[in-house]
Amino acid sequence: MPFSPYKISFLLTLVSGTLLSISSSSWFTAWIGLELNLMSFIPLISSKKNQLPTEASLKYFLIQALGSAIIILSSTLTLLYPQLALLLVSLALLLKLGAAPFHSWFPQVMEGLSWLQAIILMTIQKLAPMFLISYLSMSFYTHTPIFLAAVFSATVGALGGINQTSLRKILSYSSINHMSWMLIAMLINETSWMIYFFLYALITSSVALYFLSIQSYFFFHLINSNTTPLTKMISILSLFSLGGMPPFSGFIPKWIMIQEMISAGFFFALLILLLSSLVTLYFYIRLSLASISISYAQSKWSLTFFFHPTSIYSPLSSMMNLFGLLMPSALLIM
């Protein structure tokens, strides 16, 4: 995604659409913000030179247009069947979000994007639907589909990434799994899911930026990457942080959510989410062990360099993922 003037203008419009949806006082204004966000993201991911981004942009447009059409349909049913309208709005927002069982489009769209476009899809594009879901009045018709979507997302995100060799699909299923934690957090309080989303966005962006820096898109690219041992070690620790292994930064939001779910009595959902997190941590460890045990052949000349040109994102990645190690020390000082 080259930084041309029209790309920057579309990016600004995309952020403006998200902010409009979040700060809107009516569902009509929120719908306008979602459409503005959609029409700004399509030019950012489409390409004349490659067929994969064009196919991904078409899939993304069709799914998001279907979600918007369901929101328009629900607006016609508001006066006659208000509970049904709330149910349709929640299902449409879950479809736009890519939560299970409406998740099948998300890994396919991710597979056709570059890493910078994937970061936008995994972070900024999830903001508006998630805020709108949190604004819904929690009745039986909205609480139940959100709870079921969270349980399905945890299961699908864990099992879907096991046999994947594409790093973009692995991160997409990881995003679906993290989405389950945020959906459960919405049912408890707003502060928890905002903290979780902020840390999730930082950690996911750092891992994707590292993959961008070494130009890795598949499993064998990560194994054969010609990087320094320090850079490879930082990437492994970043994956552990994304999986939520203590004491890295990714464990902090899960720790908060575990305490909140125990206090709220979500014991069954907590069991499902913890088991799914163990499965996601399994395929992160599988990636890490393969990259450690299988080393790319390097000449002695390349090993004498202390700084590698592909390791520019290593300080960023380490800062975002390893500050969780400093949290106990900070608490002791306080």
3-state helix, strand, coil in the chain (%, to 5): 80, 0, 20
Q: Mean pLDDT score of the chain, rounded to an integer?
A: 84
**So what's the pLDDT on residue 270?**
94
- Lowest model confidence (mean pLDDT) among 1-15, 25-39, 148-162: 1-15
Stretch 50-76: mean pLDDT: 90
**Is residue 44's pLDDT more than 80?**
yes
| Per-residue pLDDT at 302 exceeds 50 | no
Tokens of 203: 């950690």
Tokens found for residue 65: 């247009």
- Residue type at 139? S
List b or e across 69-82, with b for residues whose CB sees 16 or more CB atoms inside 10 angstroms.
Answer: ebbeebeebeeeee
Q: What is the percent of the chain where pLDDT is above 70?
A: 83
DSSP for residue 324: G
- Contact predicate 269/202, CB 8 Å: no
Which residues are registered as beta bridge partners of 218? 166
d(CA 88, CA 75): 9
Angle at CA 158, nearest 5°, toward 160 and 189?
130
Task: Determine which of 56-60, 62-66, 223-227, 254-258 has the lowest per-residue pLDDT on average.
Answer: 223-227
Asked if 94 contacts 186 with a C-beta cutoff of 8 angstroms, the reply is no
The residue among 227 and 271 whose pLDDT is bigger is 271
HSE-up (13 A, CA, CB side) for residue 15: 5
Predicted pLDDT at 243 = 86
Contact 63, 51 (CB under 8 A): no
Q: Give the pLDDT of residue 304.
A: 40
Specify the residue for token string 């598949």: 218
Q: In the numeric block, which tokens belong to residue 202?
A: 């930082």
Task: Tell me phi and psi for residue 218, to 5 degrees.
Answer: -130, 170
Is the pLDDT higher at 278 or at 302? 278
Q: Which residue has the higher pLDDT, 159 or 53?
A: 159
Residue 244: predicted pLDDT: 86
Residue in the block written with tokens 């059409």: 69
Q: Give mean pLDDT, residues 222-245.
A: 75
- Asked whether 257 and 184 are in contact (CB, 8 A), the reply is yes
The C-alpha atoms of residue 323 and residue 295 are separated, in whole angstroms, by 28
Q: 86-107: per-residue pLDDT in tens?
A: 999 999 999 999 998 999 999 9
CA distance 325 to 334: 16
The arithmetic mean of pLDDT across residues 136-161, rounded, is 90
For 71, residues 6+ apart whose C-beta sits below 8 A from its C-beta are 27, 31, 34, 88, 89, 92, 93
Structure confidence at residue 92 (pLDDT): 95
Residue of 222, 192, 198 whose CA lies nearest to 210: 222
- In terms of phi and psi (left: phi > 0; alpha: psi -120 to 50; beta: otherwise), the region of 263 is alpha
What pLDDT is attached to residue 156?
94
Q: What is the pLDDT of residue 327?
A: 60
Q: Is 218 helix (H, G, I), strand (E, B) or coil?
A: strand
